[in-house]
């Protein structure tokens, strides 16, 4: 193993142990850094130059690489952060400040209209275990702004009446989210119907007349059920669990919540991630202004 490969391994261990980053983050960083090492052929820290970094960025940007601007940026961020780590540990390397990040277009967030949202949330019909579970899932997603992975990890034995759920999110960061009255009602109705002892809050069910519990529900199952109910609600376009997280954030901001509070509720480590939602609410306000302002002036 070369010097640079040893140092990359040390850096990835540092990310997981000291910075408390998730294993998936480390895996992604490893993939990005391995790509740079393979492309540039570097063996040690002295082999990393501004020239081969620039050549790597050109390589990432070429059409044959088939990488979006955001993905290109992730590669450069991983390399710059490795250089920061090496600098702190007294290695003589290219200054991280000389590695500029690519300009990434502002992410566009699509939100659905409020009447469409209401139809989606009430789309699961009946009092079967499937329908009760699905209504509880939809209401919980919109009420809390949880990531789908966080929703799937919820355990059953919690005090729903308090309306507060402690969540361990990305990077093992703890936060509290809150259940609306509708979410609490739907969760209680769903749990009352359950006769199993599985500790998972949301379970995967067979499609038999008397459905069997197949264990904890997975993100793909939640994605499929959200998509199914969006279609049955007559909503055109793709709707995902993450879109309900978007709805949660924009709903709060549109109704006057401050951005720092929304950042805390979403579990974002940086406020710049949360600021993307201000573009959506600003767009909504612009449409309201256009529709209602100055109508008497002709």
| Catalytic residue annotation | 147, 170, 242, 245, 268, 277
Are the C-beta atoms of 56 and 40 separated by less than 8 Å? yes
Beta pairing class for 213-216 and 203-205: antiparallel
DSSP calls for 12-41: HHHHHHTS---HHHHHHHHHHHHHHHHHH-
Instruction: Count the neighbouring beta carbons within 10 Å of the beta carbon of residue 14.
Output: 15
Q: Which of 145, 155, 183, 125 shows the shortest CA–CA distance to 273?
A: 145
Segments in the chain forming alpha helices (H): 3-17, 23-40, 50-61, 69-88, 114-121, 129-144, 148-152, 181-193, 219-232, 241-254, 259-266, 271-274, 276-292
CA distances from 163 to 52, 97, 110, 140, 144 (A): 54, 46, 28, 11, 10
CA 9, 13, 15: angle at the middle one, nearest 5?
Answer: 115
């Amino acid at each position: 193993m070369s010097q640079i490969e040893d140092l990359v391994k040390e850096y990835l261990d540092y990310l997981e142990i000291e910075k408390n980053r998730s294993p998936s983050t480390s895996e992604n960083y490893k993939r990005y850094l391995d790509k740079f090492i393979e492309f540039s052929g570097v063996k040690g820290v002295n082999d990393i130059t501004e020239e081969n970094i620039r050549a790597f960025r050109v390589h990432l940007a070429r059409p044959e690489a088939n990488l979006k601007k955001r993905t290109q940026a992730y590669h450069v961020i991983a390399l710059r952060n490795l250089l920061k780590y090496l600098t702190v540990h007294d290695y003589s390397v290219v200054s991280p400040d000389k590695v500029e990040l690519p300009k990434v277009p502002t992410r566009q967030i699509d939100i659905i209209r409020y009447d469409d949202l209401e139809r989606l949330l009430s789309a699961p019909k009946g009092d079967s275990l499937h329908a009760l579970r699905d209504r509880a899932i939809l209401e919980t997603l919109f009420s809390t702004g949880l990531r789908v992975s966080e929703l799937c990890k919820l355990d059953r034995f919690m005090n729903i009446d308090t309306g507060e759920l402690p969540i361990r999110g990305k990077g093992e960061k703890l936060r509290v989210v809150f259940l609306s009255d509708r979410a609490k009602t739907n969760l209680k109705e769903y749990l009352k119907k359950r006769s199993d002892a599985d500790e998972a809050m949301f379970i995967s069910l067979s499609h038999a007349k008397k459905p069997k519990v197949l264990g904890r529900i997975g993100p793909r199952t939640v994605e499929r059920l959200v998509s199914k109910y969006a279609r049955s609600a007559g909503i055109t376009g793709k709707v995902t669990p993450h879109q309900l997280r978007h709805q949660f954030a924009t709903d709060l901001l549109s109704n006057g919540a401050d951005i720092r509070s929304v950042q805390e509720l979403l579990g974002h480590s940086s406020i710049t991630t949360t600021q993307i939602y201000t573009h959506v609410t600003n767009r909504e306000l612009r449409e309201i202004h256009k529709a209602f302002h100055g109508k008497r002036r002709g």
